[in-house]
Amino acid sequence: MTKPIVAIVGRANVGKSTLFNRIAGKRISIVDDSPGITRDRILADAEWIGNTFKVIDTGGIEPYSEDIIMQQMKRQAEIAIETSDVIIFVVDAKEGINPTDVEVANILRKANKPIILACNKIDAAKYRDHIYEFYSLGIGEPIAISAGQSLGIGDLLDEVVKNFLKAEEGINDDLITKVAVVGKPNVGKSSIINKILGEERVIVSKIPGTTRDAIDTFFEKDNQKYVLIDTAGIRKKRKISEAIERYSVIRALTAIERADVCLLVIDAEKGIAEQDSKIAGYIHEQGKGIIIVVNKWDMIKKDEKTTDFYKQDINRVLPFLAYAPTVFTSALTGQRISRLLEIVNHVSNQHALRIQTGVLNDIINEAVLMNQPSISGGRRLNIYYGTQISVKPPTFIIFVNDPALMHFSYERYLENQIRKSFGFEGTPIRIIIRGRE
C-alpha cells in the first residue's frame, strides 16, 4: 500500500521549507531568506503517532507573476496539490493576509481536498491574536505554529493525520530501484525524467541551475517500482558562488550515495568535459551502477562512424568506466528514452549479482593457468581461493600467499576475466587481496 501524501503549499517566503524540515525530521529542503528558493517539489518520508506518510514541499505560488520560473513553480505546486491526500496551507501570521494568500486559497478550494491552515511565525504568545483575521480565507480553523521555533507542530500534525483514511503500510525500499539522474547543469536531466514519466514532474528551463534540490519521484512500470532522483547540476567549485548552489552540490552527491544506479547525462553538443569525469569518478568510487546517457543526440550531424567515434572519446576520457553501457538519446524527440528503464533494470541486476564460490574459483584457476603471475624478488604470487562477500557493488576477497606480490596489472587482469565470465555490465566490482593468515 502507498503512503498518504501531504503537500505543503503557500506563497513564497512564508516558511514552507522550514516546516517541511520539521515534519521530515531532517534538513532536506533548502531554507534561505530569498523568495523562490524551493523551486521544485521536494519529497520525504515522515511519521506521526504511528502514521507514516510522504510530505511534499513546493515552490511559492505567485498567481499573477509573468516570470517564467514563477509560472512553472505555480504549475509544480498545482501538481503537488493534485497528487496529495491532505494539504497544509501555510501563511505568514506576522505579516497578515496578503492578496496572494487569497488567490492561493481560491486555488485550494477547487482541489476538493482536506486543507489544514497553518499560521506560521507565531514565535510568542503575544502574536496568537494575529491568526483570527485568517478565518476570512474560508479555509477552516487556523492553527498557530512556529516552524522556526518548533511550536504547535504536534497540534498541526494531529489535524493532518485525522484526515488520513487509514494508516497505510509503506513500500519496502528493497523492492525499489533508486535511480539518480546526474550531470552538469543544463544537460537535460529534468527533460529526460519528464519523458520517462510522461508528465511534467520537474521544472524544465534553459536557465542553468533550475533544479536546486534532489527531487524523488516514485513510479511503477511493468510491476517494477522505481524512484527517480533528479539533482541539481554539479558545477566546478570556482563557479559555485551562492550558498544555495553549495547546498545543491552536496545534495547531488548525496543523491548519488542513495542511488542504486546513476544516469550520467552528457551534452552531446558540448562533449565530455573535465567535470563529467569528476562526477563519473565519484559514482565509481561510491560503487554505484552507472549508465552513460549522451543527450541531445538529435542535434549532432551524423554519419555511420559518428557513434563509434563518440564512444572512443568516452573511453579515452573515462577509461575507468569501460564497463558502463552508453545510450545516445534525445529528450526532445524521445529517441531511445524508452530503452533507459530496460537498461536500468539490467544494470541493477548486475549490481546485485552474486557468484557461487565454486564457480568463481573455477574462473580464477583457469585465469591463472592461462597467465601465470610474474616472479618478484625471487618469489611468485600464489592464489589460494576467492569468495564474494557482498553485492552493490559486487565485492570479492582473494586470498594469496603475500598481498605485496599482487601487482595492480595482474589484479586488473583477474577483474577482466571475472567480467568476461559473468558480465557485471554497468557496475564496478571490488577486489580485496588478503594474506593467508
CATH number where 26 lies: 3.40.50.300
Amino acid 177: pLDDT? 93
125, 193: one domain: no
136, 269: one domain: no
pLDDT tens digit string along 168-181?
A: 444 456 678 999 99
356-363: Cβ within 8 A, 24+ apart: 357/385, 357/386, 357/387, 357/388, 360/386, 360/387, 360/388, 360/396, 360/418, 361/385, 361/386, 363/417, 363/418, 363/421, 363/422
For the residues of 200-249, what is the DSSP string, one character each? Answer: --S---SSTT---S-EEEEEEETTEEEEEEE-PPPPPGGG--SHHHHHHH
- Residue 419, in any domain of the structure: yes
Amino acid 244: pLDDT? 45
Burial class (CB in 10 A: 0-12, 13-18, 19+), 372: exposed
Amino acid 169: pLDDT? 40
Amino acid 175: pLDDT? 78
Mean pLDDT (whole number) for 415-431 = 96
- Which of 206 and 75 is assigned the larger pLDDT? 75
Burial 297-332 (b: 16+ CB within 10 A, else e): beeeeeeeeeeeebeeebeebbeebebbbbbbbbbe
Q: Which of 318, 351, 384 is the last residue of a domain?
A: 351
- Residue 104, in any domain of the structure: yes
pTM for the complete prediction?
0.63
Q: Is residue 273 over pLDDT 60?
A: yes
pLDDT class of 2 with cuts at 50, 70, 90: low
User: What is the chain's mean pLDDT, rounded?
Assistant: 84
Burial class (CB in 10 A: 0-12, 13-18, 19+), 215: buried
Closest-CA residue to 397 (of 411, 410, 408): 411
- Residue 365, in any domain of the structure: yes
Q: In total, how many domains does the chain have?
A: 3
11, 110: one domain: yes
- Residue 168, in any domain of the structure: no
- Residue 268, in any domain of the structure: yes
- Which of 413 and 129 is assigned the larger pLDDT? 413
> Taking the CA of residue 73 as centre, how many other CA atoms within 13 Å lie in the half-sphere pointing to its CB?
27
Q: Which of 162, 196, 215 is the last residue of a domain?
A: 162
285, 339: one domain: yes
Q: Report percent pLDDT > 70 for the chain.
A: 80
pLDDT tens digit string along 366-380?
A: 999 999 998 888 899
267, 402: one domain: no
Mean pLDDT (whole number) for 86-101 = 91
pLDDT tens digit string along 243-272?
A: 444 445 666 777 888 899 999 999 999 988
- Residue 167, in any domain of the structure: no
- Residue 287, in any domain of the structure: yes
Identify any residues that bridge with 290 across adjacent strands, giving them in sequence order.
262
Q: Is 423 left (phi over 0), alpha (psi -120 to 50) or beta?
A: left
Amino acid 198: pLDDT? 82
Distance from C-alpha of 349 to C-alpha of 218, rounded to nearest angstrom: 19
Q: Is residue 213 over pLDDT 60?
A: no
Q: What is the CATH number of the domain that holds 401?
A: 3.30.300.20
Amino acid 128: pLDDT? 86
Handedness of CA 225, 204, 83, 333 (dihedral sign): negative
C-beta separation of 104 from 98 below 8 A: no
151, 224: one domain: no
Distance from C-alpha of 319 to C-alpha of 272, rounded to nearest angstrom: 13
Provide the domain limits for residue 221: 173-351
pLDDT class of 424 with cuts at 50, 70, 90: very high
- Which of 377 and 299 is assigned the larger pLDDT? 299
Distance from C-alpha of 425 to C-alpha of 431, rounded to nearest angstrom: 16
Amino acid 210: pLDDT? 53
Beta strand ranges found along 235-288 (DSSP E): 261-267
CA R_g for the chain: 26
- Output phi, psi for 18, to 5 deg: -65, -40
Closest-CA residue to 332 (of 233, 205, 195): 195
Provide the residue type at 362 as one letter. D
Element (H, E) at 75: helix 68-83
Q: Which of 285, 320, 351 is the last residue of a domain?
A: 351
pLDDT tens digit string along 217-228?
A: 888 888 888 988
Question: Residue 420 contacts by C-beta under 8 Å, 6 or more apart in sequence?
Answer: none
pLDDT tens digit string along 144-167?
A: 999 999 999 999 999 999 988 543
